[in-house]
Structures are given as structure tokens and as C-alpha cells.
Amino acid sequence: MGALVDGKWEYEPIGKSGGDGRFERQETTFRDQVEDREGARFAPESGRYHLYVSYACPWAHRTLIARKLKGLEPHIDLSVVDPLMGPEGWAFGDDPDGMDDPVNGARYLREVYLAADPRYTGRVSVPVLWDKREGTIVSNESSEILRMFNSAFDRLPGVNAELDLYPAPLRAEIDRVNDGVYTDINNGVYRNGFAGTQAAYEEAFDALFARLDETEERLSHHRYLVGDRITEADWRLFVTLVRFDAVYVAHFRCNLRRIADYPNLSNYLRELYQMPGVAETVNIRHIKEHYFRSHESLNPKGIVPKGPELNFDLPHDRGRLLAA
């Protein structure tokens, strides 16, 4: 898989690790904001923005969940790339669950990046929030898109303004929890999978399972990660948990324990999955096909495992905990 360099597509291997074998994630490039304030360049208008996602991608998944929970579907429409990310990068049009690009008519996602900046240099990643008015990318940083969806569109009709995934009194604690979850779990699974040395892998592995063990403990007496309600911290953890047993255990060698082996994490995962609308954002076929078929260096024959059996619809026991 490749990247754009000065507007030209260059083929190069994914998952570069640094000299010490540690996986290094690149900084995101487009970092503007949709803001609900007088004179904002990107104002929250219905129908103005378009979201590009992959169902496979955990980072994109955060934004898809926020769009769903906040009731933004009528206001921000969607394109879904095909699960396979081949040598040409993310593409549209070959998968029955995919959704083509009615806005830019792109065959490859890189065309969307080039439409925003013909001399773009960097990775062509999902998610992308596109502004139809200016014909440019507002942001390709999922954590920031999630926050925009959480609050910037609240005055549009039908939007669930009551739901606040980043409430002011909990922000410091949410940021603290997010940091650990990001480093050791969200990005941690990638640090396992794309480690270039045994030592870098073992370091990532130990940090991942230490953080999962700690989270399991917290969830034995708290219903959610922060405070007494679901916040973005929960959804940011959810997107990795829901992929874990299907993909990360085998593909990224995260195999000390499965999520199914953790009673609290697995009940918590089912509770979140069963929240109205969330299951529609989870496409396990896309998730499995993407990882097992796209990372040639990890799985050269591209064979997709048939298992494991997963059923996130089974009952959960989280009602036993007070939400505090």
C-alpha cells in the first residue's frame, strides 16, 4: 500500500517501524474544525459535509458511532470504502456493503485528498470529513471529528443535543483515560502487529495486557470508564474491543487472552454493542476481510480465518452495577 508524495502516488510497505523496531504512527494533516460560532470558516450546516469511512477501521468507526448516536445521519452523508486496501490504497465500488462516492466521484480515496490539495504529501487514511462548499478536507483526524460531531451540530433539527460524550466536568479524566487506552490498546494492538523486533513486540504486548487487566478491574465496580455515563472514552475503547477476538488475537499476535476471557470487558462490550443503532455500525465481514487481506507482510496468502464464533447480542450483566 502506498502514500501520496507531492501529489503522486508512491507504492511502499505499510506499518513502517522505526530503527528500534517500534511501530510509529504518522501525524494527521488536515486539522480544521467545524465550529458553531459567528464567522467560523466551517459552520455547522445541514448537507454541507460528507464523511468518508471504512467499516474496518477503528479510527473511522469512532466517527461513525458519533454520527449515529447524535442523530447526524440526515445532515452528514456517507461513503464507505471497500474492505481491501490494496496497492492503490482505499477504493470504492467493488463491495456490496460499500458506498460509492457521490461527492467527488472517486474510484480511489487518494483522489479526494488530491481534490483538496493537488500537491498533498502524506498517508491517504480514513476517516475524512469533506466540505462540499469549499471543496476541501476539513479534518482527517478521528478524535477531532468525533468532538465536532459531539457538539458543533447541536442546533440542527433533530440532532440529539442532550447527548454529551465529552461533558465539561469529566474532560480531564476522559483525556487521562483516553491517553492510556490510545497508547496501550487502540494503537497498542498496531504496535503489537507491526513491531519490527521481538523486543518491541513484547513491550507492546505487556503494555496491552496490563492495560486490559487494569480496565477489567475498573469495570468490575464501575459501569463505564469515566463518571456515571457513557462518554467518548467508552466508544474509543469499544472500537478496539469489538475487533479484538476476530482480528487482533491472531493477526496482530495479541493472544495472551481474548476479550471473551475477561468477564467484565466482554459484558461491557455487549452492553455498548446493544445500544440503539450501534450494531449497524459494526461490519465484522469488512473488519476481517480488511485486516487479513490487506496486510501482505503479516498474512501473505490473504486467507481470512472462518472463526471465531461471535455473538454480541447475548445478554449482558451490566445492569448489576450502578452507573457510577
| 37 marked ligand binding residue | no
**Catalytic pick from 49, 52, 55, 57?**
57
- Annotated catalytic residue 108: no
Contact 27, 201 (CB under 8 A): no
Closer residue to ligand GSH, CB minimum distance, 54 or 231: 54
Distance in Å, CB of 140 to ligand GSH, minimum = 6
The SS3 assignment for 128 reads strand
> Between the CA of residue 269 and those of 175, 217, 246, what are the distances in Å?
21, 15, 14
User: Is 80 one of the binding residues for ligand GSH (CB under 6 A)?
Assistant: no
- Among 67, 123, 251, 293, interactor with ligand GSH by CB under 6 A: 123
| 142 marked ligand binding residue | yes
Neighbour tally for 116: CB within 10 Å:
19
**Catalytic pick from 190, 201, 273, 291?**
190
Closer residue to ligand GSH, CB minimum distance, 44 or 58: 58
**For 71, what's the count of Cα atoms within 13 Å in the CB-facing half-sphere?**
12
Please enumerate in sequence order all residues whose Cβ is within 8 A of that of 244, keeping only pairs 6 or more positions apart, or say none: 189, 254, 258, 259
- Annotated catalytic residue 190: yes
Question: How far from chain centre, in Å, is Cα 1?
Answer: 19
Residue 312: phi, psi to the nearest 5?
-80, 0
Alpha-carbon distance 102 to 139, whole Å? 19
User: Is 57 one of the binding residues for ligand GSH (CB under 6 A)?
Assistant: yes
Closer residue to ligand GSH, CB minimum distance, 54 or 178: 54
Q: Cis omega (within 30 of 0) on the bond before 308?
A: yes
- Among 142, 150, 240, 294, interactor with ligand GSH by CB under 6 A: 142
Distance in Å, CB of 157 to ligand GSH, minimum = 28
Contact 266, 307 (CB under 8 A): no
Distance in Å, CB of 243 to ligand GSH, minimum = 10
Distance in Å, CB of 290 to ligand GSH, minimum = 8
**Stretch of 118-126, 161-169, 256-264, 270-278 lying at the interface with ligand GSH (CB under 6 A):** 118-126
Strands (E), 108-159: 128-131, 136-139
| 126 marked ligand binding residue | yes
Binding site residues, ligand GSH, CB under 6 A:
1, 3, 28, 54, 57, 59, 123-127, 140-142
Active-site amino acid positions: 57, 190
